[in-house]
């Protein structure tokens, strides 16, 4: 592939590459049920996914009012105990195993931009042998302001040597999509089973899964974005 119109492709991590969100939701659902609360998927998607203060919101708005004697330390301790069990169910998102080698073969530079810390991202990228596909991994630890601020995406573009305006992003959260758009990038929302009910109008395009993406699809999107084609991308 010569002179690609997108200089780099940047992926969010949780819920886009690796389905850590489903087991996380499972753990928090159990935690809430233990306190007599039913945690709705809509509340979780809107208030927790993509928000680094999301667990604090959950504790303060849901758990503490239900049980004032359930301290913050106890909440965190119990949640970590539940994570040890539910995170064993973590899997790759559909299409990842096929798409990444395909895009590498096509010559695209690729990176990860995650709001999570480096140890968390490396844990799963290593477990699923994804690290070799990426030239850089930018994390929330590397920036002053996390998503939805644009910093982590701008850092990923800088490390990839790419113009932000020529970067394509795949995101599953509204906060992440807002972050990438604020960075001036083209954003494709890929809602996960957790976030599929949310309004992704902030994104340039929305698809149902990465299994629907190919180099040809990306090239067609580029022609549309950069004014050389008509939008008829399908899903």
Mean pLDDT to the nearest integer, 14-25: 96
Say if CB 5 and CB 222 are below 8 A apart. yes
As to burial, measured by CB atoms within 10 angstroms (0-12 exposed, 13-18 middle, 19+ buried), residue 217 is: middle
pLDDT tens digits along 198-235: 999 999 999 999 999 999 999 999 999 987 544 445 55
Q: Which of 59, 49, 55, 53 is nearest to 19 (CA)?
A: 49
Q: What is the pTM of this model?
A: 0.91
Mean pLDDT to the nearest integer, 95-112: 97
Most confident stretch, 42-51, 68-77, 173-182: 173-182
How many other C-beta atoms are found inside a 10 Å radius of the C-beta of residue 167? 26
What pLDDT shows up at residue 228? 57
What pLDDT shows up at residue 233? 55
* Residue 4 clears pLDDT 70, i.e. is over it: no
């Amino acid at each position: 592939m010569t002179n690609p119109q997108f200089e780099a492709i940047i992926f969010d991590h949780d819920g886009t590459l690796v389905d850590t969100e489903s087991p996380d939701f499972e753990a928090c659902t159990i935690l809430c049920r233990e306190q007599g609360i039913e945690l709705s998927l809509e509340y979780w998607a809107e208030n927790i996914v993509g928000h680094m203060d999301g667990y604090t919101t959950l504790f303060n708005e849901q758990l503490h009012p239900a049980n004032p004697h359930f301290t913050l330390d106890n909440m965190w301790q119990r949640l970590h105990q539940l994570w040890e069990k539910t995170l064993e169910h973590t899997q790759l998102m559909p299409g990842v195993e096929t798409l990444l080698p395909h895009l590498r073969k096509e010559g695209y530079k690729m990176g990860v931009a995650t709001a999570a810390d480096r140890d968390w991202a490396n844990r799963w990228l290593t477990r699923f042998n994804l690290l070799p596909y990426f030239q850089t991994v930018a994390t929330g630890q590397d920036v002053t302001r996390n998503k939805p601020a644009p910093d982590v995406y701008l850092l990923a573009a800088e490390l990839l040597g790419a113009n932000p305006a020529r970067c394509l992003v795949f995101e599953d959260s509204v906060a992440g999509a807002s972050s990438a758009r604020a960075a001036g990038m083209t954003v494709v929302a890929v809602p996960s089973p957790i976030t599929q009910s949310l309004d992704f109008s902030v994104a340039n395009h929305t698809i149902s899964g990465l299994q629907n993406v190919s180099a040809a699809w990306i090239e067609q999107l580029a022609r549309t974005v950069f004014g050389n084609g008509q939008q008829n991308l399908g899903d």
